[in-house]
Homo-oligomer: A and B are copies of this chain.
Amino acid sequence: MNYCSNCGSNQLVFEIPEGDNRARYMCQQCNTIHYQNPKLVVGCLPVYEDKILICRRAIAPCYGLWNLPAGYLENEETVEEGAIRETWEEANTQVEVIKLHCIYNLPHINQVYLHFLAKLKNPYFSCGSESLEVKLFEEKDIPWNHLAFSSSKFALKKYIQFKENFPGVHIGTFNEL
């Protein structure tokens, strides 16, 4: 942040505002405080019969590696809507959300993932514009060494360990995988 998005001034300081307890970007011209907060990433662990749908990324970062469909929650949508939309965008497939499967914290990059367990409504899927390949994997074939992000690894590991029998939601944090 180089300029105030409210008044355009470059008189920004990064200091603790009065009554607060952490540093924020503050404009000395118009006094706007620019709060910055983590982003929510929503996605699915989509299953069909005994297989799991995973996408191979056609975009950076981690181009060419495999990942569960997920992306930033957008304004004006619910977390379930976002997870369904991301699965549609990446794999051209319709899913029904079963339940929240896991939360995964990435505090070092200010992200929180929510992965929903979801069922494909039918066995039809194909590559969205952000995917090189979309495939249903049996457990034994999951490309563990070619997964893009630890969030997918966490979601897949917990699913395989507990299937749908875990009462509650798996919560993890990067470094605790």
What is the interface of chain A, defined by CB distance below 8 A to chain B?
1-8, 10, 19, 21-22, 34-40, 72-81, 89, 99-100, 103, 105, 107-108, 110, 112, 114, 129, 167-169, 171, 173
Instruction: Decide yes or no: A73 and B171 within 8 Å by CB, A2-B8, A3-B7, A19-B129 being known contacts.
Output: no
Q: In the complex, which residue of chain B has the Cβ closest to the Cβ of A105?
A: B78
Complex Cα distance, B14 from A19, in Å, reads 34
The interface residues of chain B lying within 8 Å CB-to-CB of A89 are 21
A100 in complex: contacting residue of B4, B103, B110, CB < 8 Å: B103
User: Is there an interface contact between B37 and A100, defined as CB atoms closer than 8 Å?
Assistant: no
Instruction: Quote the shortest CB–CB distance from A47 to chain B (angstroms).
Output: 17
User: Is there an interface contact between B6 and A8, defined as CB atoms closer than 8 Å?
Assistant: no
Q: Number of copies of this chain in the oligomer?
A: 2
Complex Cα distance, B2 from A139, in Å, reads 50
A107 in complex: contacting residue of B5, B7, B34, B77, CB < 8 Å: B77
Q: In the complex, which residue of chain B has the Cβ closest to the Cβ of A174?
A: B78
The interface residues of chain B lying within 8 Å CB-to-CB of A19 are 129
Complex Cα distance, B37 from A74, in Å, reads 5
Complex Cα distance, B1 from A38, in Å, reads 19
User: Is there an interface contact between A5 and B2, defined as CB atoms closer than 8 Å?
Assistant: yes
User: Is there an interface contact between A79 and B99, defined as CB atoms closer than 8 Å?
Assistant: no
The interface residues of chain B lying within 8 Å CB-to-CB of A80 are 105, 171
A3 in complex: contacting residue of B3, B21, B39, B112, CB < 8 Å: B3
Complex Cα distance, B32 from A1, in Å, reads 12
User: Is there an interface contact between A112 and B76, defined as CB atoms closer than 8 Å?
Assistant: no
A8 in complex: contacting residue of B3, B35, B99, CB < 8 Å: B3
